[in-house]
Amino acid sequence: MIEGILIGLSTALSLTNILMVMVGCFAGTIIGMLPGLGPMTAIALMIPITYGFDPSTGLILMAGVYYGAVFGGSTSSILLNAPGIPGTVATAFDGYPMAQQGKAGKALAIAAYSSFAGGTISAIFLLVAAPSLSKVSLAFRSPDYFALMILGLTAISAFSSKGQFLKAMMMVVLGLMLATVGQDSLSDITRFTFNNMNLTDGISFVLIVMATFAMSEALTIIFRGKDPNRAAKQISLTELGSIKVNKEETIKMAKTIPRSSILGFLIGVLPGAGATIASFLAYGMERNYVNEEEKQKFGKGSVHGLSAPETANNAACSGSFVPLLTLGIPGSGTTAVMLGALLGFGIQPGPRLYQTNPEIFWSVIMSMYIGMVVLLILNLPLIPYIARILAVPRNYLIPLILFFSVTGIYLMSFNNFDIFLMIGIAVVATFLRLYDFPMPPLILAFVLGGLMEETLRRSLLISDGSPNFLWDRPITLIILLITITIVGWQIFSTFRKKN
């Protein structure tokens, strides 16, 4: 492992890669601050820029963007009570009251220190857990993988559906349907192409991500008449005050950070769950842990209440890389985008990544840590200035997002059919968003579609067409039972609310 860490460090500490982490953290912070634009959009917009990079550099840039976007989301939560991303909603509960008391700088510092500590602890967990899990996951067979993907898709539907599970499951099926367009990987038979040569190779992943996130988020902002740069203007005008944290506050943070880190990391590892659930659970758990006097301060600017969700959401970000790096199965929409990017580089993540491409495996892990340092040292003091960059009027911001989306697709294929297709999918996605049909399950399903068909094919061929493979192996059975429990819980909660 020490050798791996050194390989990772030497790759991550090259001048280009340090620069990429810094650029990624800045770009992520800027995009994450904008209400409506989250880490998935931020990463998607970076994809065209990474075409010319080697895989480690591209992934390091994306990891930096991911962390930066989460940090940016916290900033708008604390200063404006307008979370940039769902994972930082709980941060606003105590961060915003603290800012209103004239302690905005302190709240941002607590959030940054907590994020740093949460990210650091979870990066250590990742260092230890990922190689061990890689070895364990070598024991996984096709039926287990198939069951695991079903679990991942069910879980992301349950967690991202805002109580509308069926809508999320419909999006999963739509994502899988889109993934079947083009040549069948084994027989080369073309499916659902309707004799259109442009569809023979299937629909590109970048096209789907750009259409359902970058482009449709931009169109939604226009559609709803939102003005995201208003938030940035307000942040740039906010008096932050001192960013110093006193001894008493440090002690409070020191108590909160370890337990929230563990919780956040474990939640992040679970397929489908992520920063949002981790931050809410950590907030709730912290409230139960503290004494009665501290409990009264929750919602009014409590240090515990701010530190817990911030620690947990960053820890969950690192945790979400565990299934991606060890099983090759992303647990969240954001890591699904990163999986797509990895596949674009010609790298298949999974248990063998650890052996075949150790420099990528370790450099991504190490760059997360470097990203944390960049966020703490560079981004925190620069928040008001970053916000000033952000104060680009909506009239310029939206066309620029559309421009990046179209360029990303044009660079890939140099044909206009893909651009037409992207516009069409983006328009449909915009209307679906309007009626709360979630997009992350669609992306995850699209990314996993090919692998899912492959594992189902192998499982059915081995069992000679019998469905026995679903319960023959204990691992498969356990994973499917968990899936059934999630579905059962969704049905139960639906009826409970109705009554």
Partner 1 sequence: MRISPTKFISLLFLALSVFYLYTAYNIQVFAFDENAPFNARTFPIYLGWAGIILSSLKIILPEKITTEVNHKHLDYKSIIYLIIVSLIYAAVILKIGYFISTSLFLFASYYFLGERRWGLMFILSFPFVAAFMYLLHGLLNIYLRDPFLKYIGVMG
Nearer to partner 1, 246 or 468 (CB): 468
Least distance (Å) between residue 478 CB and partner 1: 23
Query: Closest approach of Cβ 199 to partner 1, in Å?
Result: 13
Task: Calculate ∠ Cα 204-320-47, nearest 5°.
Answer: 30
In whole angstroms, how close is the CB of 207 to partner 1 at the nearest point? 12
Neighbours of 475 (CB within 10 A): 15
Residue 118 or 449 with smaller CB distance to partner 1? 449
Based on CB atoms, which residue is closest to partner 1, 465 or 474? Answer: 465
Minimum distance of partner 1 from residue 423's CB (angstroms): 5
* Cα 426 to Cα 207: distance, rounded to the nearest angstrom: 10
Closest C-alpha among 26, 118, 60 to residue 370: 60
- Which C-beta is closer to partner 1: that of 373 or that of 389? 389
To partner 1, the closest distance from the beta carbon of 44 in angstroms equals 17
Strand partners, 190: 183
**CB of 256 or CB of 276, closer to partner 1:** 276
- Give, as one character, the DSSP assignment of residue 198: G
- Specify whether the CB–CB gap between 11 and 57 falls below 8 A: no
Least distance between partner 1 and beta carbon 51 (Å): 5
Quick one: how far is CA 438 from the chain centroid?
14
Do the Cβ atoms of 44 and 337 come closer than 8 Å?
yes
Nearer to partner 1, 204 or 430 (CB): 430
- Beta strand extents in 151-213 (DSSP E only): 182-183, 190-191
For residues 285 and 391, which CB has a smaller minimum distance to partner 1 in the complex?
391
Q: Which residues bind partner 1 (CB under 8 A)?
A: 48-49, 51-53, 162-164, 166-167, 169-170, 173-174, 176-177, 180, 184, 186-187, 189, 191-192, 219, 222-225, 393-396, 398-400, 402-403, 406-407, 410-411, 414-416, 419-420, 423, 427, 430-432, 434-437, 452-453, 456-457, 460-461, 463-465, 494, 497-498
Other CB atoms within 10 A of residue 151 CB: 23
Q: Closer to partner 1 at the Cβ: 177 or 470? A: 177
List the one residue out of 118, 476, 485 whose CA is nearest residue 319: 118
CB of 52 to partner 1, least distance (A): 4
CB 76 within 8 Å of CB 92: no
From the centroid of its chain, how far is CA 50?
18
| 232: amino acid identity, one letter | A
- Shorter beta-carbon distance to partner 1: residue 53 or 289: 53
Identity of the residue, 270 or 432, whose beta carbon is nearer to partner 1 in the bound complex: 432
For the bound state, the minimum distance from the C-beta of residue 491 to partner 1, rounded and expressed in Å, comes to 10
The least distance separating partner 1 from the CB of residue 244, rounded to whole angstroms, comes to 40
The tokens of 283 are what?
A: 């907030």
In angstroms, the CA 164 to CA 422 distance is 26
Q: Between 20 and 372, name the residue whose CB sits nearer to partner 1.
A: 20
Report the C-alpha gap between 420 and 182 in whole angstroms: 17
Instruction: Identify the three-state secondary structure at position 10.
Output: helix
CA distances, 207 to each of 41, 53, 317, 401 (Å): 12, 19, 24, 14
- What sign for the dihedral angle of Cα 171, 496, 83, 378? negative
Residue pair 68/29 in contact (Cβ under 8 Å)? The answer is yes
Identify whether the C-beta of residue 309 lies closer than 8 Å to the C-beta of residue 348. Answer: no
CB neighbour class for 52 (10 Å; exposed up to 12, middle 13-18, buried from 19): exposed
CB of 365 to partner 1, least distance (A): 26
Instruction: Provide, rounded to whole angstroms, the least separation between the CB of residue 186 and partner 1.
Output: 8
